[in-house]
Amino acid sequence: MSAAGFVLAINLFIAGLFATAFGIVAAYYRGAIGARWLALGYGLGIANGALEFILPYQTDARPVSFAIFAVFLSALTLCNIGIARHYGVRPPWLALGGLYVGALVVNLLILDMPRDSLLRGMLYQAPYALMHLVGIRIILSRQSNRALDMALLALFGLSAANFVTKPFLAVMLGSGGSPQGYLGSSYAAISQSTGAVLLISNGLLMLLIIVRDMIADMTARSETDPLSGLLNRRGFEDQADKARLLAVRAGAPAVMVVADLDHFKRINDSYGHAAGDQAIAAFGRVLKESFDFRAVVGRLGGEEFAVLLPGADLGVARGAAETARRLLRELSSQERGLEQQITSSFGIAAMEPGESLADLLRRADTALYEAKSRGRDRVCVAPVTAVGISRDGPEQQARA
């Protein structure tokens, strides 16, 4: 077996490994739609390698040569679709389809051209380079600057450059004189070796990106309350504590807001749990709408919610809480899911030096109980405990 044939056998094995890996990911996690397309693409890579092995034994090499080109082009097309599906962008069907059909037509026209022709080599390799440029466009449309995405972008550029330089390398070294003699040429050994490096690099990066995003999605699902669409208690405590620590390190303020629905048990008893669920979902939407996008908003359980506002002071927090309280009162019966008007109560506490998240939550909760005891449907602020810090007391709170 020639050196090129040996490397080609390795490439076959690598393509099989990645096809299996992407297939396992797609089967394990139904949301990994892109992995299905990538598994198909790498699966075609196996077929492409098999065709390369039978090429030397063909009397008329043209049908197999055309099949090799078409199969590899199909594999690149499927990989681009897989990347687009993974990133959640619409595949550029027109660009992919036009390039695919045009490339096949051109390849049919150049089958009988001399193999040592630079023009033939450029026309043969150009569609592969253009497919990688389409992949770059897909990645850029995602507008992600994360390290792995940027590495994949750079690797696609390197792969495109590799296909652009191949025709010149083939002319310099010779590509075997005939399709049957390709695997015995020095050019084939170099081409297959660079192909192996790029095959492994591209496959590993795409697999890492899919697994990274799959883990992130599973984590987000495990930390999301399905009813309100907000963070659940675990997710809130985790993200709120990270935001609190960042605020502490930056010397910035932070405010905790705790809220719940008034007379929620009465809603459940009078209208049923379905109506109660609708009320919770409506309150979640109101809270998300009322607070700054940097706020960490979560449902602690039952009808109780919490919001951490990093970088905000009491005035900002109180204003947002009053907005949420007013918006909930003004929801239409269709929006809130029941005829009865829904009201809410809020407790607010500004973070004090050395205070933990649990302590901050506890003081905001105390302010919430104050709001409840004073008639509900109001916002109350926790009294100050730290020395030298001046804040408004609960006697100055607003009422509907």
Catalytic residue numbers read 303
Is the distance from CB of 75 to CB of 46 less than 8 angstroms? Answer: no
- For helices 186-222 and 33-54, what crossing angle results, to 10°? 160
Helices (H) and strands (E) in the chain, counts: 13, 5
Q: Which helix (H) or strand (E) holds 265?
A: helix 264-271
What CA–CA distances, in Å, run from 385 to 134, 353, 354? 60, 10, 12
- 304-310 and 379-381: which strand pairing? unpaired
Q: In what order do the strands lie in the sheet with 254-261?
A: 296-301, 304-310, 254-261, 344-350, 379-381
User: Comparing C-alpha atoms, which of 9, 50, 42, 8 is closest to residue 24?
Assistant: 42
State the Cα–Cα distance between residues 259 and 256, nearest whole angstrom: 10
In 3D space, the residue among 284, 296, 294, 297 whose CA is nearest the CA of residue 336 turns out to be: 284
Q: Burial level of 238, CB count in 10 A (0-12/13-18/19+)?
A: middle
CB 33, CB 86: distance < 8 Å: yes
Tell me if residue 200 falls in helix, strand or coil: helix
Cα–Cα distance measured from residue 273 to residue 74, given in angstroms and rounded to the nearest whole number: 53
